[in-house]
Amino acid sequence: MTVIAIDKELCTGCQECTKVCPAYAIEGEPGQPQTINTDRCVMCGQCVQKCKAYLSVWEHGKEAYEAKKRERGLPQSVREPLFAAYNVCHLNELKDALADPEKYTVVQAAPAVRVGIAEDFGMELGTLAPGKLAAALRRLGFDKVYDANFAADLTIMEEGTELVQRVKDGGVLPMFTSCCPAWVTFMERNYPEISDHLSSCKSPQQMGGAVFKSYGAHLDDVDGSRVYSVAVMPCTCKEFECNRVEMRDSGWKDVDVAITTRELAYLLKEKGIDFNSLPEEEFDMPLGDYTGAGAIFGVTGGVMEAAIRTGYELITGEAIPDVKVEAVRGTEGFRTANVKVGDLTLKVGIVTGLKNVIPVIEDMKAGRLDLHFIEVMTCPEGCVSGGGQPKLLMDTLVPEAYGKRRAGLFAHDEALPLRKSHDNPAIKKIYEEFLEKPNGNIAHHLLHTKYCGD
């Protein structure tokens, strides 16, 4: 499927996109329209964030501008420049579902969306807006407003248990995280021989979708076949991920459609919803309950920190002395840390930016890497800098925006009463009532997978 495209009518061949493409997928001569090698593209959308060539109503005329919007399936309310590099829009599909009385629509929003969406409504960079986000989604007409943060907590239970089992039982190490679909796609296409090192866990988006159509449908007394599952994500590759053939363990397509933070802003504006004036509302319970560990999934190192908070207790039987695991925080391309967990020295690595994973893999294959667990995020500073986040028109704003989005998620974590995934009462409830235990038979069927490539 086509997720990322470059409009040859608009591309000037400046090649700024080639400089940020982590998969070296953009090809073409300088000064000529560029093309995307779909065999290499991991659909991360960094080219979309970087592109500066555009069509606007002021420079090209209203007729040309409106025609291009129709071509891309964009709402008529869109007024911003239309850039050469763009992600394919799925809003028409979503609007049809929301208008269909036979569909029971549920939605989840990723951690990074709540520190991005407000920017598209004129608020300060990095504004933390979970309450307004929940209210906005409810105003669109969703039957249930759940949260990917709940699914992030669920991911930690499954991934943490998997890691502990590998360490204790002599399993394949190091184990790589599988939350980032662009990284998973890169691994499959370029290093399929290391697939056993990848966690078998689905991403939070896909775990959420599988749970919403099974356990969630049961709680809501709705047949799973009626549930239409929507994900609002900072990542363009999530559109690809939800269409993978493996992602149907609920009995149906686990996530029916994924839209970006930008596309959510388009839809809210089209519906005339004034985001800034919305009240603070809660996500629907229990599948909207989450801890600080789930919230920090949106920053590089966040998955690792969340996993250590819970893994420490799984291994030692004791609460971690300090939930703030400073050793794994940062934004450098590749960093390592040793974390004392009882009698075990847990050796971890964090890869920020996909280009930085290549030497890590080569060192691992050559036997030069002594680590237990490695987090990989494709985008420059994790999901807060995802290809589907609000576009920053001036490069000078990028460091400030990314820094403030990161700070917003860390502040959210610190403000929450519970900060460890295993302390989430809704997580305890789903295992007691449905999943039985982490990595058990039911959990493994619904929440884990074996990636098989394209």
Question: How many other C-beta atoms are found inside a 10 Å radius of the C-beta of residue 359?
Answer: 14
DSSP state of 124: P
Rounded Cα gap, residues 58 and 274, in angstroms: 26
Q: Is the residue at 304 inside a domain? A: no
pLDDT tens figures, 322-364: 999 999 999 999 999 999 999 999 999 999 999 999 999 999 9
Q: What is the mean pLDDT of residues 91-103?
A: 97
Q: Give the list of residues 6+ apart from residue 425 with CB closer than 8 angstroms, or none.
A: 286, 289
Q: Is the residue at 297 inside a domain? A: no
Rounded Cα gap, residues 410 and 384, in angstroms: 12
Number of domains in the chain: 1
Q: What is the predicted pLDDT for the residue at 117?
A: 98
Which residue in 16, 239, 241, 305 is the catalytic one?
A: 241
Tokens of 430: 């789903």
Is 241 among the residues known to form the active site?
yes
Q: What is the mean pLDDT of residues 216-241?
A: 97
Quick one: what percent of the chain has pLDDT higher than 90?
95
Is 246 among the residues known to form the active site?
yes
Is 383 among the residues known to form the active site?
yes
pLDDT tens figures, 172-221: 999 999 999 999 999 999 999 999 999 999 999 999 999 999 999 999 99
Q: What is the predicted pLDDT for the residue at 59?
A: 81
pLDDT tens figures, 361-378: 999 999 999 999 999 999
Is 203 among the residues known to form the active site?
no
pLDDT tens figures, 267-294: 999 999 999 999 999 999 999 999 999 9
CA atoms within 13 A on the CB side of 80: 18
Checking if the pLDDT of 250 tops 70, the result is yes
Which residue in 246, 270, 281, 282 is the catalytic one?
A: 246
Looking at the DSSP assignment, which residues form a beta bridge with residue 27?
35
Rounded Cα gap, residues 45 and 49, in angstroms: 7
Residue with tokens 């269409």: 243
Which residue in 16, 119, 158, 159 is the catalytic one?
A: 159
Rounded Cα gap, residues 83 and 10, in angstroms: 7
Is 66 among the residues known to form the active site?
no
Is 429 among the residues known to form the active site?
no
Tokens of 151: 């699914």
> Are the C-beta atoms of 222 and 104 separated by less than 8 Å?
yes
Q: Is the residue at 343 inside a domain? A: no
Q: Is the residue at 55 inside a domain? A: yes
Check which CATH number belongs to the domain holding 78 and give it: 3.30.70.20
Which residue in 199, 250, 385, 421 is the catalytic one?
A: 199
Got the DSSP string for 137-158?
HHHTT-SEE--HHHHHHHHHHH
Q: Is the residue at 125 inside a domain? A: no
Which ranges of 236-390 does DSSP label H, i.e. alpha helix?
238-241, 261-270, 292-295, 302-316, 357-365
Is 199 among the residues known to form the active site?
yes
Q: What is the predicted pLDDT for the residue at 454?
A: 46
Q: What is the predicted pLDDT for the residue at 452?
A: 66
Rounded Cα gap, residues 228 and 16, in angstroms: 38
Q: What is the mean pLDDT of residues 6-10?
A: 96
Q: Is the residue at 76 inside a domain? A: yes
Is 159 among the residues known to form the active site?
yes
pLDDT tens figures, 48-93: 999 999 998 888 889 999 999 999 999 988 989 999 999 999 999 9
Q: What is the mean pLDDT of the chain?
A: 96
Which residue in 162, 239, 375, 381 is the catalytic one?
A: 162
Q: What domain range includes position 11?
A: 4-87
Q: Is the residue at 15 inside a domain? A: yes
Quick one: what percent of the chain has pLDDT higher than 70?
99
> Are the C-beta atoms of 7 and 34 separated by less than 8 Å?
no
What region does 122 belong to: left with phi over 0, alpha with psi -120 to 50, or beta? left
Checking if the pLDDT of 123 tops 60, the result is yes
Q: Is the residue at 53 inside a domain? A: yes
Q: What is the predicted pLDDT for the residue at 1?
A: 79
Residue with tokens 């599909």: 93
Which residue in 238, 375, 379, 381 is the catalytic one?
A: 238
Between the two ends of the chain, the Cα-to-Cα distance in Å is 10
Tell me the backbone φ, ψ of residue 380, rounded to 5 degrees: -55, -40
Cis, peptide link before residue 174, omega less than 30° from 0: yes
Rounded Cα gap, residues 169 and 162, in angstroms: 10
